[in-house]
Amino acid sequence: MGKIYIVLTHTGTTLSSIVKYYTKKKYTHVSLALDSDLKELYSFGRLNPYNPYKGGFIHEELNKGTYARFKNTISAVYSLAVTDNQYEKIYSIIEEMKKNKSKYKFNIIGLFLVSINRKYQRKDRFYCAEFVKYILENSLDKKLLPEIVKPMDFLELDNISFVYEGLLINYKNSKNVIV
């Protein structure tokens, strides 16, 4: 048995503030981590922390990129138990995406249509929640989430466990971290 981590964040960027306004939820972005230190943290978002217009598949780092630029990013970290086989599937899908990351694009139209409860999906295009849903449903071999998915929907997963809530930059140093 292994664990993966669902990381919910809100950076306070213009785009995340727009998403927060429409969803009325505390967190506006979701990422998937393969380790408790969040060193292997992946999602779909800004390719460059200073350019909100170009997005895609990203390896996120707590002290670099967007999170370094927006130091007051709030976060909630949850763990999800998976079998060894499921973990290997997750790892394989992410490795394939890393090798071919230039073909994956950000689904900006899909992101905005969520606000009016519409789905818009094109091959190899995701917004953050679609990416995490894609990874989980293709590795756990079952439908887990609503068709039109938002970051906070991941809290409805069976067997999800709370790990941490607070500033993302303080995650590693927190005594509240449960691994």
Residue 178 belongs to some domain of the structure? no
Split at pLDDT 50, 70, 90, the class of 27 is very high
| CA–CA separation, 20 and 154 (whole Å) | 16
Residue 179 belongs to some domain of the structure? no
Weakest-pLDDT range from 46-50, 98-102, 159-163: 46-50
> Which pLDDT score, from 0 to 100, does residue 52 have?
80
Q: How many domains does the chain have?
A: 1
CB 150 within 8 A of CB 23: yes
The region, left, alpha or beta by phi > 0 then psi within -120 to 50, assigned to residue 71 is alpha
**Cβ within 8 Å of residue 30, ≥6 positions away:** 6, 7, 8, 9, 43, 128, 129, 132, 151, 154
| Structural domain containing residue 74 | 2-170
Q: What CATH number did the domain enclosing 7 receive?
A: 3.90.1720.10
